[in-house]
Amino acid sequence: MQNLRVDRKTTARRNLFVCCFKLERQDSLMYYQSTLLVKIITLRVILFFTLKPYTRRLYASRCIPYRQIKVLLIFFLVLSSVLWMTTFGYLISLSLVRVFQKKNPAKNETLPKIAVVVPTLNEEGLISGKLRNLETSDYPDESMQIFVIDGGSTDKTIDTVKQEINGKKNTELICLAESKAKPDQINYVLQNLDYEIIVFTDADGRLEPSCLKELVTCLISDSSVSVMGAFIHPETPFLEERLYWSFINQLWWLEGEVFSSACVSAVCHACRRKHVLPLASDALADDINIALSAAAKGLRVRTCPNARASEIRVPFTKNEFMKFRQLRGKNYLVELKRSSKLKKAPLRWRLTLLLKLWHLKVTPKAIPLFVFSAISLLFSRYHFYPIFMIVIFMLPISFSLLKWNKDDFIKKKWRVLWAAVRLPFLTIMPMLTLNKTKRSRFYMRG
């Protein structure tokens, strides 16, 4: 009997110990679950105020219904493919066509007499340096006549020009008191100057000594070319602006070689006077207007890589860059819409015009959709696809950076990479508000 009582006590103690152990285990499990629940709730609260509703539910549950994720995946793949083909695919296609094109050797012809026209309006601080820069040109003095066309300056621009041209036979000042805008100055030149080739260059442009000779040589070597532009380099430490112009120079050169429908900058471009149409009095971007109207007539518009010019009135900060891209993009869009009304234009011109309108109006709105859908897919079972597409987009950028100013890239490697990452966003954000920006004439070309 005593042994039986001891066994019962031992069994009762053992059962009590097991019960307490189970309770402790349950308590620890409940504590773990409660802490996990608190973390999840905290994360959901943070996501509620940071992400959009669809992305919140997606991240919190780590999965979304099969049909919805399939639709989102298809939308992302189609959108990313279209964006890549209309940007990097377009550039690569132009490059491949250029490789297989027949290259016409440049003809050694006698340099003709040219008129170098500098339109001015309150350029007191720049015109003196501009005229001295033109004196360094290696173009023969007897074949070059410089015309400063003033559109009614109210500062000391006219007095400064008179002091600079004192005793110089190849420089002349023409004052247009009734000029309302820069198109009036250009139209006066086209109607009154008896020169076959005219070079337009802004007061904020600085030309390399060989720029005029290279520009005119490229123009006269092909009788079908009506407008020839120079490669532009911005004089600024702001890397995003320099990368932007590096891309634009390459794009315009390829479009000119393949489609003969390049754009040019007012910093420096040459044209055949008889081929250029008079500008509309309300033209906001004279350089784009000249190039588009000439290409619409079936004439060739190209750029010359050996003709180099610098622009000194350029953005130096992020805010200046975005403001300038917005104003310039608005004026550019107005000129594109104006040119789209021209009739009997060649097919290659209409194709390039359509792509330019796409880049200005559709691409800026499509990229935010691309980013949002990529973030959504990153938190789903299809996270591989956005990672793969991001790599596909980064490869052409990385390759182009390797070719961009190798010495500068080695010294500022990480700064250049960061600038390349920021450039698409700094360029696209102003484009989203083009319709809200008032039209304005901008003497700062870019």
**Domain contains 280:** yes
The pLDDT score that the predictor gives to residue 67 is 65
Q: Is residue 82 part of a domain?
A: yes
Give the model's pLDDT for residue 10: 46
Nearest to 265 by CA among 444, 6, 38, 37: 444
pLDDT of residue 19: 45
Confidence of residue 18 (pLDDT cuts 50, 70, 90): very low
Which of 254 and 446 is assigned the larger pLDDT? 254
At residue 252, the pLDDT reads 92
Q: Do you know the residue count of the chain?
A: 446
Confidence of residue 409 (pLDDT cuts 50, 70, 90): low
* Lowest-confidence segment of 77-86, 304-313, 365-374 by average pLDDT: 365-374
53-76 pLDDT, tens per residue?
Answer: 555 444 444 445 556 778 888 899
Note the pLDDT of residue 116. 94
Helix, strand and coil percent figures for the chain, each rounded to 5: 60, 10, 30
For residue 105, being part of any structural domain is answered with: yes
The phi and psi torsions of 184 (rounded to 5 degrees) equal -65, -35
* Residue at 134 is within a domain: yes
CA distance 37 to 9: 41
Structure confidence at residue 36 as a pLDDT band (50, 70, 90): low
Q: How many domains does the chain have?
A: 1
Per the domain annotation, does 33 fall within a domain? no
The pLDDT of 134-147, averaged and rounded, is 92
| CA separation for the pair 405, 412 (Å, rounded) | 11
Give pLDDT, residue 167.
75
Q: How confident is the model at residue 411 (pLDDT cuts 50, 70, 90)?
A: low
Which residue from 307, 288, 286, 298 is spatially nearest to 259, judged by alpha carbons?
Answer: 298
For residues 322, 290, 292, 332, the Cα torsion angle rounded to the nearest 10 degrees is 20
What are phi and psi for residue 197, nearest 5 degrees?
Answer: -115, 130
Task: Dump the DSSP string for 168-203.
Answer: -TTEEEEE-TT--SHHHHHHHHHHH---SEEEE--T
136 in Cβ contact with 248 (< 8 Å): no
**Separation of first and last alpha carbons in the chain:** 107
pLDDT value of position 436: 52
40 part of a folded domain: no
What's the CA gap between 297 and 390, in Å, rounded? 40
The whole domain housing 258 covers 69-446
Mean pLDDT of 162-169: 84
Residue with the two structure tokens 């500008």 = 279
CATH of the domain at 174: 3.90.550.10
Whether 63 maps to a domain, the answer reads: no
Q: Comparing C-alpha atoms, which of 218, 177, 188 is closest to residue 115?
A: 188
d(CA 315, CA 323): 9
Whether 413 is in a domain gets the answer yes
Closest among 225, 385, 190, 387 to 307, alpha carbons compared:
225
Mean pLDDT score of the chain, rounded to an integer?
79
pLDDT in the model for residue 443 = 41
Edge-to-edge strand ranges of the sheet holding 225-234: 171-175, 144-150, 114-120, 197-200, 269-272, 225-234, 300-311, 205-207
CA gap 34, 40 in Å, rounded: 10
Q: Is 205 helix (H, G, I), strand (E, B) or coil?
A: strand
Q: What is the mean pLDDT of residues 164-182?
A: 84
Find the mean pLDDT for residues 290-300. 85
Q: How confident is the model at residue 33 (pLDDT cuts 50, 70, 90)?
A: very low
> pLDDT over 90 for what percent of the chain?
25
Mean pLDDT of the 369-394 span: 85
pLDDT given for residue 148 in this prediction:
93
